[in-house]
Amino acid sequence: MSEELAGILADAAAGRFPAADGGVTVVGPPGTRDEGVVAFTAHSVVYTAEDPEWIRAELAATDSDRLAATMNPGFLAALMARTGRRMDTIDLVTVADALPGAPGLALREIQDREHPRVAAALKRRDEVRVWVADGGLLVLGRGLAGRWEVSVEVDEEARGRGLGPRLAMAARHLVPGPVLWSQQSPGNARSVRAFQRAGYRPVASEAVLTAR
């Protein structure tokens, strides 16, 4: 298992990014579950068990601007075909520092593994824990390269009350690590705004390829 990706992510969380030189770094996968791409400003990291020379040749053949090649649909489709994996979407990756003290929001931890959001988290994360609030849900777990990740869900009838940002902020008090990561689909502007209001910083985009 490669630990290089974990180190790159830890550096990014601390504001130390790969050189914005238009380059592509290819590292081994952090385990057997995930392969994919993390794209920082003018530098991408491809984490995969595939031959780095194949990756570079495929990128060179991609009909795309060099800086955008790793997130080009053509390259991602080729990588999925090569690895036999699938992906959902390209996400915005955000990170926030953990906070001390209590969450400041009434939460109750549950063990409901049948909830759709929980079931999805269990496929992609380890050490999953789930809390419910009045009108919402908060899921914590260890995801890509062992990083702590959070996702939240707000009931339709509870929208417009600021619960999303409060759940995202509460997660910063609950995470047992120094930082907490989250991913938002760029088109989900409501989710993007909620996490940024809760202090999560945009650091990259990513495409995670999972086993079918």
Q: Which domains, and CATH codes, for the chain?
A: 4-92 (no CATH), 93-202 (3.40.630.30)
Q: What's the CA gap between 189 and 210, in Å, rounded?
A: 25
**Which residues lie closer than 8 Å to 123 by C-beta, 6 or more apart?**
210
pLDDT single digits (tens) 146-167: 999 999 998 878 788 889 999 9
Instruction: Output the pTM of the full model.
Output: 0.93
| pLDDT-wise least confident of 9-23, 64-78, 103-117 | 103-117
**Which residues lie closer than 8 Å to 67 by C-beta, 6 or more apart?**
22, 42
63: pLDDT strictly greater than 90:
no
Q: Name the residue among 177, 125, 176 with its Cα closest to residue 151.
A: 125
CA–CA distances in Å: residue 112 to residues 91, 123, 132, 163, 195: 26, 14, 10, 21, 24
